[in-house]
């Protein structure tokens, strides 16, 4: 893997990740861009104890542009984009409309491929492995920033999720705080350690493997299962069998197997609702241990993949109970979801 760091016309960082070591990246951003101006502010909610990013500048961000004006496609002739080069493998750049910026954190965009019409599931194993390298490298770089406490790599896929750019891409957030979901996990892990002397994540994985009813895929180094108390209609958690705190700690064997397992999961997600159905909308979220916090050593890196589609043509809306009280109601039994995901193995 070759990494090339450069800058866009407004000073934002752009990073190319290439499979070939002899790739040259010397294209210049020719756009007449003004300096980025953001108004990100993090406010603490005294009742819930969580943090909210206030980012009014995002109201003006690019919204559903036509394919020939996509800002994530490579630049071609006079059509200039966020990627100055005419092609790329994987590209990462600072978001021009970040939710978090400066002392309030950092937001980056990850372009998985230069092919506008592809999806992550269309990538080859080599391409998916390069994305994993990019996620890992960005985690390592952002971990060194004083204002970043936790790194979150994720992909929103589909208009139903709220995606405003159709090009296959994800994002990386460097939060200046520990996110609420992670705080809950750390709290549960601490309580479990005190009560049993064991690691909570290890016990969860062991229980799913022993039960087997919710296991979807099982490799030598990774295991994917629908959690016992799944919140979403179709939800899969993917864990490395050797517990690590974040992406930096994965060994070479786990890195090699990851593309096989993950691509198979994504392809099965697109087959859940049968032939002729539109691509399944999903959120794919890496959960990594925050930095410089108590209990970090007990956290387990894992990926959570889920869709808001509950059946053909119908979405799972977060209505009164979920939005008002954070109390989820799931219409699909986790065992049935796992069975369906086993049935739709890729051909």
Query: pLDDT by residue (tens digit) across 75-89?
Result: 999 999 999 999 999
Annotation says 64 is catalytic: no
The pLDDT score that the predictor gives to residue 36 is 79
How would residue 200 be classed by pLDDT, with cut points 50, 70 and 90? Answer: very high
Burial of 332 (0-12, 13-18, 19+ CB in 10 A): middle
How would residue 60 be classed by pLDDT, with cut points 50, 70 and 90? Answer: low
Question: What average pLDDT does this structure show over 128-137?
Answer: 98
Which one of the listed residues 167, 169, 192, 221 is annotated catalytic?
A: 169
How would residue 231 be classed by pLDDT, with cut points 50, 70 and 90? Answer: very high
Question: What average pLDDT does this structure show over 239-249?
Answer: 98
Cα separation, 7 vs 16, whole angstroms: 11
The pLDDT score that the predictor gives to residue 216 is 98
* Confidence (pTM): 0.96
The pLDDT score that the predictor gives to residue 67 is 86
Q: Is 39's pLDDT higher than 90?
A: no
Question: What average pLDDT does this structure show over 44-62?
Answer: 85
Proportion of the chain above pLDDT 70, given as a percent: 98
- Neighbouring C-beta atoms of residue 307, cutoff 10 Å: 25
The pLDDT score that the predictor gives to residue 40 is 83
Query: pLDDT by residue (tens digit) across 283-322?
Result: 999 999 999 999 999 999 999 999 999 999 999 999 999 9
The pLDDT score that the predictor gives to residue 64 is 76
**According to the 3-state scheme, what is the secondary structure of the chain?**
CEEEEEECCCCCEEEEEECCCCCCCCCCCCCCCCCCCCCCEEEECCCCCCEEEECHHHHHCCCCCCHHHCCCCECECCECCCECCCCCCEEEEECCCCCCCHHHCEEEEEECCCCCCCCHHHCCHHHHHHHHHHHHHHHHHHHCCCCCCEEEEEEEECHHHCCCCCCCEEEEEEECCCCHHHHHHHHHHHHHHHHHCCCHHHHHHHHHHHHCCCEEEECCCEEEECCCCCCCCEEEEEEECCCCCCHHHCCHHHHHHHHHHHHHHHHHHCCCCCCCCCCCCEEEEEECCCCCCCCHHHCCCEEEEEECEEECCEECCCCHHHHHHCCCCCCCCHHHHHHHHHHCCCC
Q: Is 25's pLDDT higher than 90?
A: yes
């Amino acid at each position: 893997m070759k990494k090339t760091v450069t800058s866009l016309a407004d000073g934002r960082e752009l990073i190319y990740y290439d499979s070939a070591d002899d790739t040259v990246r010397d294209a210049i951003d020719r756009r007449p861009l003004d300096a980025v101006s953001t108004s990100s502010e993090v406010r603490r909610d005294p009742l819930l104890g969580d943090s909210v990013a206030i980012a009014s500048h995002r109201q003006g961000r690019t919204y559903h542009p036509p394919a020939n004006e996509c800002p994530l496609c490579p630049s071609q002739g006079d059509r200039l984009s966020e990627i100055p080069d005419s092609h790329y493998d994987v590209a990462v750049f600072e978001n021009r409309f970040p939710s978090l910026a400066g002392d309030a954190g950092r937001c980056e965009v990850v372009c998985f491929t230069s092919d506008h019409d592809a999806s992550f599931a269309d990538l080859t194993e080599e391409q998916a492995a390069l994305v994993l390298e990019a996620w890992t490298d960005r985690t390592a770089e952002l971990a060194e920033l004083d204002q970043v406490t936790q790194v979150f790599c994720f992909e929103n896929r589909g208009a139903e999720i709220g995606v405003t750019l159709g090009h296959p891409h994800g994002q990386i957030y460097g939060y200046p705080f520990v996110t609420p979901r992670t705080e809950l996990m750390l709290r549960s892990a601490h309580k479990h350690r005190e009560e049993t002397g064991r690691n909570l994540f290890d016990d969860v994985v062991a229980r799913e493997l022993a039960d087997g009813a919710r296991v979807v895929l099982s490799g030598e180094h990774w295991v994917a299962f629908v959690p016992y108390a799944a919140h979403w209609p179709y939800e899969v958690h993917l864990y490395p069998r050797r517990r690590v705190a974040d992406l930096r700690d994965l060994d070479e064997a786990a890195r090699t197997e990851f593309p096989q397992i993950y691509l198979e999961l994504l392809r099965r997600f697109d087959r859940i609702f049968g032939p002729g159905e539109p691509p399944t909308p999903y959120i794919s979220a890496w959960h990594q241990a925050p930095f410089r916090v108590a209990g970090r050593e007990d956290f387990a890196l894992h990926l959570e993949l889920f869709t808001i589609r509950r059946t053909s043509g119908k979405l799972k809306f977060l209505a009164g109970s979920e939005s008002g009280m954070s109390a989820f109601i799931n219409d699909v039994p986790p065992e049935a979801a796992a069975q369906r995901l086993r049935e739709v193995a890729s051909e």
